[in-house]
A and B are shown apart, each in its own frame.
Chain A
Amino acid sequence: MRRNLLVFIIGIIVCSCELTYEDNTRLLVDGQVISFESNEIPELPVDVYALGTFTSFPSRREQVALIGESKLRSDGQYQVITISPENSDFISVAINDIGKNGYNAFWPTLEINGLQPFSLENFKYKVPDIAIGPLEDTSLLINRVANMQDTLSYGISYNSTLKEVNLNFGEFEEEVFQRQLFGELYPSDMTREVPLRVIQGESIKISYSLINNGIVGRGEIKIQYNTDGYTFDF
């Protein structure tokens, strides 16, 4: 019994605690980013990472390894040759990652997370098309139009230098916004302009509460991109 326990403990300690790769196998990660109004996209770097979590008794650790890289073509298409991880939890794609050779500060970083082994077909991951645009300085104009008596407490959710997309069974999960701004508009204020640096073509989300001796109303609204800026009337 003690011997079995010893073997078990030694097995845990010396178990493979790192990413390993398949012999005689390469994968292809194939996808396209769609530019706002079909504008040309610069040659942004595309990197593919494998992520694994390993138990190395008595702790757990995560390992991230670069398994392939390439560049975007002007039409937004990319194909990345990668080595084939045997034991990763999932694979992610980073486009225009900060610090990479060819990083363009006028464009956001796009992270596509959650490519799973079961979505592999004929040694190829087909990534769904994802919209992207250059960064743009714009603003959100909040106008008091109908409600003159309540204080507006708001939170603005939007993507700026980072856009993250999580894939779930090959489909998009609910949109994740990376940045949030909060503020209040008192009854004495009729309007407010909030400067934003956003991704061209992207919508933003406003969550708000109306306060007048307590919360008298709340809501959430998604505002589509407009070349003249975003507007929220209440």
Chain B
Amino acid sequence: MLFLPLSLLFGQEEQKELQWDILGELSIAYGIPSSYGNNFLAEGYDLRNATNITANVLESPKWLIGGQWSFFKGDVVDISKVGGIDNSRITHLYVTGSYSILEHKKRITLRTGLGIGYALYRHEKDAAKFRDDGFSILAKIDLGYRISNSFGVFLKLDHYMDLLSIDAAPEIENSLKRTQTLVPFVGIRLYTF
């Protein structure tokens, strides 16, 4: 729906041939995170304001490799699930590989991708700061529209699965060690040649 008016607005450019041999792209996006499942992040936090920066290099017409950074905040709303934390800032860093599902040389792109990386939860309690961290897996799907040679927009859905290295009693390990988060993003994309 978002891309329909864009395609009408920029319909005249369809006549022009875009330059397809791009070197890479840089994406910046805003998202609204929500966690799910029986874990402390889903049950104890109010998550908000995700920011995402992705850089990709085109390896072949269908494949891209790159890196991704994302960040969001969360206020603790249920201490009984989390412990006495005031708020947390959650960062994900990934190395990613993406595959274009649609045919190359189209303004509309549909991609899926996977990433492996690092999750960092920085917590605040009064004036004290401490952290949890661990391994993270990313799965994503991305629908983009290239408006001009060097500019485009996109919608993206990221799924983060964090496997945190938290030491805890066996009774509560399951709810602390693994979290799942979905983040729908909307953003802009810049292409380089």
Of all chain B residues, the one with the shortest Cβ separation from A67 is: B84
For this complex, 30 residue pairs linking A to B, each with C-beta atoms less than 8 Å apart, are A18-B127, A18-B128, A19-B125, A21-B130, A23-B130, A23-B131, A23-B132, A24-B132, A24-B164, A24-B165, A25-B167, A26-B166, A26-B169, A28-B168, A28-B169, A66-B84, A68-B80, A68-B83, A69-B84, A81-B80, A81-B81, A81-B82, A81-B168, A82-B83, A83-B84, A83-B125, A83-B130, A122-B170, A124-B169, A124-B171
- Give the docked Cα–Cα distance between A69 and B126 (Å): 16
- How many chain B residues touch A (CB < 8 A): the figure is 27
- Give the docked Cα–Cα distance between A216 and B126 (Å): 58
B132 touches A71 (CB 8 A): no
Contact of A123 with B169 at beta-carbon distance under 8 Å, contacts A24-B132, A83-B85 already known: yes
Which residues of A (1-50) have their CB < 8 Å from a CB of B? Answer: 18-28, 30, 48
A21 touches B128 (CB 8 A): yes
Chain A residues with Cβ under 8 A from B83's Cβ?
26, 67-68, 81-83
How many A-B contacts if CB must be within 8 Å?
86
Closest CB of chain B to A92's CB: distance in Å?
Answer: 13
- Give the docked Cα–Cα distance between A21 and B170 (Å): 20
A69 touches B130 (CB 8 A): no
Q: Pick the contact of B167: A24, A69, A71, A82 (CB < 8 A).
A: A24
A21 touches B125 (CB 8 A): yes
Of all chain B residues, the one with the shortest Cβ separation from A19 is: B128
- Give the docked Cα–Cα distance between A205 and B79 (Å): 39
A139 within 8 A of B: no
- Give the docked Cα–Cα distance between A65 and B128 (Å): 11
- How many chain A residues touch B (CB < 8 A): the figure is 28
Q: Pick the contact of B131: A24, A30, A65 (CB < 8 A).
A: A24
B125 touches A65 (CB 8 A): yes
A27 touches B127 (CB 8 A): no
Name the residue among B84, B85, B164, B171 with the largest chain A CB count within 10 angstroms: B84
